[in-house]
């Protein structure tokens, strides 16, 4: 296909994913991790690394100052969103309290744009694996809207960014294999460097990416070493940034200040069952399309042996790491959060398999696709923590290493968040139709993780986790919200119709 036409398709895929993700956005930062990153990025604009004390607890004191535990990568990445929010706050006469909430709302959209990039680069990879145009598009939208990845486009949870940088690193290595152009090794290395700066566990993937490069390089030893140098040199600079960041905070290049869960004491069978099959966290439950990986593996190994070894090695190593982790469920989250980083990799073998079997499997694929969307509607409409609060599993009453920690929501189908979120959706929908929706008037410190008074926190259980609903809850005119919603929906529909028309004109030959 003409490269110009491919670029048009990629742009439309990007904007469809971004706009739909923005439409369902909650325009809020609710978790401690999100607020920690926001506070650090905000402080970076003042050339400081400490954050205000008393807002979050996932950090450590040193010399009277409070520093968050997270790496600095994501705080750097969201800086343009922080600056853009400051610019808008300068232009519009918002109240001081609303300025902070507005800034958080702008920053909360970050992963929507990362989601658009994930969609584009998965599409590009599938096309390089000779997957037909329409099959590739179905696979991309399947990943973005029919798996537990979709609800995380509403957040700035860094697992989404890790998924992007891992996919990007692989994409550029495969480009190098096809072209033998060295710049792709540097691009891959930069992706690896950013992945590490966002979350240091990304290092687990580096040996496998390096071995893949070693085997696809020319056989001359000198050439292989040179290629590895191109790949790993950006990581060296990332280590320098990482060490400097630690030293400026703790006067120690290797001290991160982290004192959270560092144990890997979960029995492997418990973690694997929980991550893959459990009713409350299982990947195959929260993303039904991933079941097709069992059918795809053989064909993918036959057609793309080196890439199959790389992808499946990364998948299995991450699975084992997180299955052993004491907090394997990534709790207060939707589905197996820690598997987000490897989720796009599952869809490469699936795409290759469906490319040769789409006609015979179309009904099964569409059934799994539709089932996945229904599951994610529960995830995007109700904030993750609300359901856990409603069944008494949050705030936590047991420690991570307790065998009964989150047992109801993790393992009991009667308390599966999939069922629970849909029940809350139905109950709240009826309440809203009857005019009984919550109203929030008593804002406390807008910098706080939950910026409403403790008396009003119970009302959150009756909310829908959408920006337009929160706007109504705080008293913004329903008429203004309706106009904005109409414009938003029409824009998305016109974009999808235009995209459908383009694909119809292209036909099935590609």
pLDDT tens for 144-190 read 999 999 999 999 999 999 999 999 999 999 999 999 999 999 999 99
Which whole number is the average pLDDT over 7-28? 97
Kindly report, residue by residue over 331-343, the tens digit of the pLDDT: 889 999 999 999 9
What pLDDT shows up at residue 151? Answer: 97
- What are 237's two structure tokens? 């600079």
Residue 470 pLDDT more than 70?
A: yes
The reported pLDDT for the residue numbered 508 is 62
* 376-404 confidence digits (pLDDT tens): 999 999 998 899 999 998 888 888 888 88
- Output the six-digit token pair for 15: 């904007």
- Tell me the average pLDDT across 270-292: 98
Q: How confident is the model at residue 220 (pLDDT cuts 50, 70, 90)?
A: confident
pLDDT at 506: 86
* pLDDT in the model for residue 261: 67
Over residues 425-449, mean pLDDT: 86
Distance, in Å, from the CA atom of 127 to the CA atom of 494, rounded to the nearest integer, reads 25
Q: Please give the biggest Cα pair distance in the chain.
A: 73
Q: What is the pLDDT of residue 395?
A: 82
**Per-residue tokens: 274:** 């929980």
- Over range 93-116, report the average pLDDT: 93
Whether residue 423 has pLDDT greater than 70: yes
In 268-304, alpha helices (H): 268-276, 283-286, 293-303
Specify the range with the lowest mean pLDDT, choosing from 260-264, 272-276, 310-314, 497-501. Answer: 260-264
Which region holds residue 502: left if phi is over 0, alpha if psi is between -120 and 50, else beta?
A: alpha
How much is the pLDDT for 394?
A: 84
DSSP 8-state symbol, 338? G
**pLDDT > 90? residue 426:** yes
* Structure letter (DSSP) for residue 443: B
Task: Give the pLDDT of residue 449.
Answer: 79
CA distance 144 to 153: 9
The structure tokens listed for 57 are 């607890």
Taking the C-alpha atoms of residue 46 and residue 248, their distance in angstroms, rounded to an integer, is 15
Portion of the chain with pLDDT greater than 70, in percent: 99
Q: Alpha-carbon distance 456 to 34, whole Å?
A: 22
As a whole number, mean pLDDT of residues 201-210 equals 98
- Under DSSP, the state recorded for 204 is G
Residue/partner pairs of 367-372 with CB below 8 Å, 24 or more apart? 368/146, 368/288, 368/289, 368/291, 368/292, 369/138, 369/142, 369/146, 369/289, 370/146, 371/146, 371/288, 372/142, 372/145, 372/146, 372/147, 372/287, 372/288, 372/289
Residue 127 has pLDDT above 80, yes or no: yes
Name 68's bridge partners. 59
Q: Which residue has the higher pLDDT, 245 or 220?
A: 245
Tokens at residue 394, please?
């949050």
- pLDDT in the model for residue 400: 84
Average pLDDT, the chain: 94
Show the tokens assigned to 406.
Answer: 């989150």
Q: How far apart are CA 354 and CA 361, in angstroms?
A: 7
**CB of 109 closer than 8 Å to CB of 154:** no
How far is residue 59's CA from residue 67's CA, in Å, rounded to a whole number? Answer: 5
The CA-based angle 202-235-318, given to 5 degrees, is 15
Residue 298 has pLDDT above 70, yes or no: yes
343 - beta bridge partners? none
Assess whether pLDDT exceeds 90 at residue 473.
yes
199 pLDDT more than 90: yes
The pair of three-digit structure tokens given for residue 316, joined into one six-digit string:
């299995």
Beta bridge partners of 452: 443
Using a cut of 0.85, tell me whether the model's pTM lies above it. Answer: yes
């Amino acid at each position: 296909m003409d490269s110009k036409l491919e670029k048009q398709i990629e742009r439309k895929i990007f904007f469809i994913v971004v706009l739909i993700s923005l439409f369902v956005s909650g325009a809020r930062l609710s978790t401690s991790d999100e607020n920690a990153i926001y506070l650090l990025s905000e402080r970076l604009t003042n050339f400081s690394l400490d954050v205000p004390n008393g807002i979050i607890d996932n950090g450590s004191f040193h010399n009277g100052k409070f520093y968050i535990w997270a790496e600095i990568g994501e705080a750097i990445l969201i800086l343009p969103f922080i600056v853009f929010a400051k610019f808008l706050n300068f232009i519009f006469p918002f109240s001081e309290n609303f300025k902070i909430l507005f800034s958080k709302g702008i920053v909360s959209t970050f992963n929507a744009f990362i989601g658009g990039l994930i969609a584009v680069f998965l599409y590009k990879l599938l096309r390089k694996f000779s997957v037909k145009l329409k099959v590739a598009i179905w696979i991309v939208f399947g990943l973005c809207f029919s798996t537990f990845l979709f609800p995380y486009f509403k957040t700035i949870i860094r697992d989404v960014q890790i998924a992007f940088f891992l996919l990007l690193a692989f994409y550029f290595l495969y480009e190098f294999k096809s072209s033998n152009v060295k710049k792709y090794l540097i691009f891959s290395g930069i992706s690896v460097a950013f992945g590490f700066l966002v979350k240091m566990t990304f290092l687990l993937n580096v040996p496998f990416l390096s071995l893949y490069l070693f085997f696809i390089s020319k056989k001359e030893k000198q050439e292989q070493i040179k290629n590895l140098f191109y790949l790993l040199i950006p990581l060296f600079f990332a280590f320098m940034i990482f060490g400097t960041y630690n030293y400026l905070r703790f006067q120690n290049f290797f001290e991160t200040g982290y004192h959270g869960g560092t144990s890997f004491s979960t029995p492997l069978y418990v973690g694997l069952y929980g991550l893959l099959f459990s009713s409350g966290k299982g990947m195959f439950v929260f993303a039904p399309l991933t079941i097709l990986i069992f059918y795809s593996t053989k064909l993918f190994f036959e057609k793309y042996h080196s890439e199959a070894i790389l992808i499946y090695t990364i998948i299995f190593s991450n699975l084992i790491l997180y299955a052993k982790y004491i907090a394997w469920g990534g709790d207060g989250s939707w589905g197996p959060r820690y598997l987000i980083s490897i989720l796009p990799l599952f869809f490469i073998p699936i795409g290759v398999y469906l490319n040769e079997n789409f006609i015979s499997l179309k009904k099964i694929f569409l059934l799994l696709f539709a089932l996945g969307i229904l599951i994610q509607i529960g995830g995007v409409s109700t904030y993750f923590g609300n359901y856990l609060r409603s069944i008494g599993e949050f705030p936590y009453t047991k420690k991570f290493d307790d065998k009964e920690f989150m047992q109801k929501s993790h393992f009991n189908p009667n308390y599966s968040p999939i069922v629970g979120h849909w029940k809350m959706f139905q109950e709240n929908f009826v309440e809203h139709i009857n005019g009984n929706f919550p109203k929030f008037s008593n804002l406390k410190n807008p910098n706080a993780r939950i910026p409403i008074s403790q008396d009003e926190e119970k009302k959150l259980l009756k909310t829908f986790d959408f920006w337009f609903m929160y706007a109504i809850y705080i008293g913004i005119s329903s008429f203004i919200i309706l106009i904005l919603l109409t414009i938003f929906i029409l824009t998305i529909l016109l974009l999808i119709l235009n995209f459908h028309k383009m694909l119809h004109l292209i036909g099935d030959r590609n």
